[in-house]
Structure 1
């Protein structure tokens, strides 16, 4: 929250500084173009000059901040044209009404005043200026968004490199591992089919975790679901099928299966539930819910906390999931963690 507020103030201060310099340059240009006396007649003298100048800067800063960061950038990112265009129209109606009141009521402009404009001319000028302001705002919003996308891509590349280095650091030689698992599977398939099946599951789980996926470290949702179910099955076998797990899945369209998600993101939450949860309570089952449509993916994992000594955890898995979701989806996702003395819950919502 503090970081968010600091970021907003930083954005406002940048616009304030740029707009102040622009206003000073425009004021000096008018003095050079039409002379000091004429310019002061338009802007006022003495106290009124300072009031008008500060008012112009503060108003301009607020206008450009709202247009760039709350309208133009969200429009570029989300493409929700109808909703945001309606907001833009309402914003400019309010802005024009305010400027009208400021010029004709508060300032009390009269036909005898220097630089006086009629209401008709005022509205025409305001409309033209609004178009210019929109063009400037969209231009800067595009620059800011492009810069954010570039940084976003660099961050993804760094995260991918870290993941690759971590895999190299912690993995046993994959060929040796899989050859060994294959040997054990062959030796146990006849004497202990369940043990052989467990070895086969372990081999597939390890293969999935160590595989070299796309450059962003993402996989189709269908693969993540398949692997998650194997992890659930593996844990059931470990505990003689005594685990109390409630799994609900609702995939409304086949298109959702091809939507991409961060590799092991859902699996990490499931494994945490098995690691830290109470697994034998019939009334408080480990709950796993997955719903997917063309436009949204929703995933929930909840569990009752295990009594007694807790397994040590540094929270690296959750931190990694949060960071990767943020890098991939930004404002299009939410990752919620709810916790009290007895229960723990994770929710992921991804808007596609």
Structure 2
């Protein structure tokens, strides 16, 4: 939502609040002399208006985040504390600017006044929660629409990138050669390729999938890449931690892994590609490091999924819940992606 609209919502609310307050004061003071009107106006300013402003923005910035995180006990504690505190500030302002005689009337009247002030602060705070909730809902709605469009673009880019004819033809050719040597093993790899294509075409339609499925897909993809070389130590792939019950956006890690294979030309090197996925209670981390030839120029059409598109998708999927660090050091290219669960 545009800042001008948000500011307009705040201004609109306070204009309505002030107009309503003025109308109530005028109606209650009809026939009174100027001194009474002036004193009452000051009382209303210190007793309701200023505490309401304080309460409104305390609820807006501090209570709403607790409510959104479903911390309902803390929400109630914060709400009551802020409302009572704002009401106390109103009494203090009356004491400072109107003198002790304004507070030394009947004790019962003071109690009623304090209770009423707290209620007014709670009411304005509740309005603040509604306002903030509406703004957040609207922004999330826009984000979902953008994410939906972005997912479509990502899906098309991934289909073009992952179902690359070169990858398919090379894999099928390797499997065809393997059939003459070991038909059983060739059948296993053919099933892996079939699973990969099925995964990409059908299981990536949802916003979240089980992390275990994502890892299974990555393992099959790596297995297919391994049949293109006789060096069994070419790739070092490890998973640390348990994926039980965890979910993740589909194909978040794969673009980095795919780029590692595309940019690594010397398959005779041990540990030319090192991939490690660390699974913790609070985060999932990908560490991908590959050796590359800095003098080799890769054509744009075969360069894999662009970093700009990858970063934009991450920003939409995990706003403020991910860190991405990409480094080139000597002849190594490394990616570290951490996603907070």
Q: Same fold (TM over 0.5)?
A: yes
From the CA coordinates, give the structure whose radius of gyration is larger.
2
Q: 1:178 to 1:217 in 2, by over 3 A?
A: farther
- After superposition, give the CA deviation of every residue in 1:314-335 in whole Å (9 maximum; x if it has no partner): 895544444444444546x323
Indicate the residue corresponding to 2:219 in structure 1. Answer: 229
- 1:298 to 2:284 alignment: yes
Aligned in 2, Cα 1:147/1:182: closer, same or farther, shift over 3 Å? same
Cα 1:301–1:310 shift into 2, 3 Å = farther
Q: 2:256, 2:335 within 8 Å by CA — same for their partners in 1?
A: no
Structure 1 pair 132–24 and aligned structure 2 pair: CA distance change class (3 A): closer
Describe how 1:47-62 pairs up with structure 2 within 5 A: 56=49, 60=52
Tell me the alpha carbon deviations over residues 252-288 of structure 1, each in whole angstroms, 9 at most, x when there is no partner: 6x323xx3x2221121233344445799576x97341
Structure 2: give runs of 5+ residues left out of the alignment.
none
* Counterpart selection for 1:156 from 128, 137, 147: 147
Alignment correspondent of 1:219: 209
Q: How many residues align?
A: 325
Name the SS for the 2:67 alignment partner.
helix
Contact 2:226 2:232 in 1 (8 A): yes
Q: Give, in whole Å, the separation in 1 of the partners of 2:329 and 2:157.
A: 33
Shift of 1:214: 6.1
Question: 1:226-265 alignment to 2 at 5 Å?
Answer: 226-239=216-229, 240-243=231-234, 245=236, 247-251=238-242, 254-256=244-246, 259=247, 261-265=248-252
Paired residues of 2:325 and 2:337 also in contact (CA < 8 A) = yes
Distance 1:11 1:126, change over 3 A: farther
* Deviation (angstroms), 1:75: 1.9
TM-score, normalised on structure 2?
0.70
Deviates more, 1:305-314 or 1:229-238: 305-314
Q: Which residue of 2 aligns with 1:98?
A: 89
CA contact (8 A) 2:324 2:338 kept: yes
1:289 CA drift (Å): 2.2
Alpha-carbon distance in structure 2 between the residues aligned to 1:340 and 1:60: 55
Report the TM-score when normalising by structure 1.
0.69
- CA offset at residue 219 of structure 1? 2.7
Identify if the C-alpha distance between structure 1 residues 320 and 100 changes in structure 2 by more than 3 Å, giving closer, same or farther. Answer: farther
Tell me the distance in 1 between the aligned counterparts of 2:304 and 2:52.
45
1:267 to 254, 263, 267: 254
Q: Is the 8 A contact 1:68 1:141 kept in 2?
A: yes
1:175-231 deviation digits (Å, cap 9, x = unpaired): xx989977974664133667776665445434433x133654543222211111123
1:276 to 1:316, Cα distance in 2 relative to 1, 3 A: same
- Cα deviation for residue 161 of structure 1 reads 3.5
- Unmatched tracts of structure 1, length 5 or more: 1-5
Q: Measured at CA, do residues 298 and 287 of structure 1 come closer, stay the same or move farther in structure 2, by a change above 3 Å? A: same
Contact 2:239 2:277 in 1 (8 A): yes
Name which structure has the greater RCO, CA cutoff 8 Å, separation 6+.
2
Counterpart contact for 1:186–1:196, Cα < 8 Å: no
1:190 aligns with 2:180: yes
User: Does the 8 Å CA contact 1:268/1:318 hold for their aligned counterparts?
Assistant: no
Match of 1:40 in 2: 38
CA distance in 2 between counterparts of 1:97 and 1:344 reads: 57
Instruction: Compute the displacement of 1:23 (Å).
Output: 3.8
- How do 1:73-112 and structure 2 match up within 5 A? 73-76=65-68, 78-92=69-83, 94-105=85-96, 107-111=97-101
